[in-house]
Amino acid sequence: MRIDKLLGNLGYGTRSEIKKLCKQGAVIVNGKEAKKADQHVDPEEDEILFNGELVNYREFVYLMLNKPAGYISATFDRNDATVLDLIDEKYHAFEPAPVGRLDKDTEGLLIITNDGKLTHRVLSPKKHIPKKYYAIVAGSVNSNDIKAFEKGIDIGEGYTTKPASLEIIGQIDLDDISDEENQEKSEETNINLAGEDVYEIYLTISEGKFHQVKRMFQSVGKEVLYLKRVQMGGLELDESLELGEYRELTDDEIKMLEER
């Protein structure tokens, strides 16, 4: 691999900047100055120093983001902020992308990587990788809904979902929801929460149709007020991550996703 490509991929600068730095003696390969940016090196075998610091090369980057509402699951959007706007620029050189998508108003677990094979593996319909969501739902959720979700839900356009697992956590006391939150949810869903039953649930699905969770509940006469993905395959959202925070996946977490 060429020095300028290697260092550029790691975010050390543009190729023209790296070329200039090489001429200035900033790059050392196996103890010798590398004056030419097009010099080929083996990142697995050669010792490479940049301004005196050892360069640790890696081809892929894997991040776990606790996505906040208000961000688009994309690498670029002309009108809205994207999840990559939350990521430090040092990762941008790897050209990562979100694995799948979460709706703009949905929070929670989102994997961001430049590993195309892993992305394909996780998103492949053949893998049936489960995705678990926590939701707050307006409307009485009961055992009939559990049975209906187990059979699959007609969400319109002639499509019936695959069987899904619905777990009822319990009913929420509206006194626990502030007047401001109540007003916001009412405006978002056109529901007046006064006198409305509100439930907390977990829902696990194995596919990812457009607005699927919301459409499933709409089909049984409920409305999703809040939605957060908490698990994908065996990977659980790190509870220590605040909204908008992220961290790199551990080797064990990466291996777990690769073996799904």
Would you please indicate which residues are annotated as catalytic (active-site) residues? 103
204, 234 contact by CB (below 8 A): no
| Burial profile 167-180: b = 16 or more Cβ within 10 angstroms, e = fewer | eeeeebeeeebeee
What DSSP line would sit under 188-241, residue for residue? HHT---TT--EEEEEEEES---TTHHHHHHHHTT-EEEEEEEEEETTEEP-TTP
Give the single-character DSSP code of 167: E
> Which residue(s) pair with 198 in the sheet?
138
Cα separation, 122 vs 12, whole angstroms: 30
Q: H-helix or E-strand containing 134?
A: strand 131-138
Tokens of 21: 């730095």
SS (H, E, C) 69-129: CCCECCCCCCCCCEHHHHCCHHHHCCCCEECCCCCCCCEEEEEEECCHHHHHHHHCHHHCC
DSSP state of 174: G
The one-character DSSP state at 163 is P
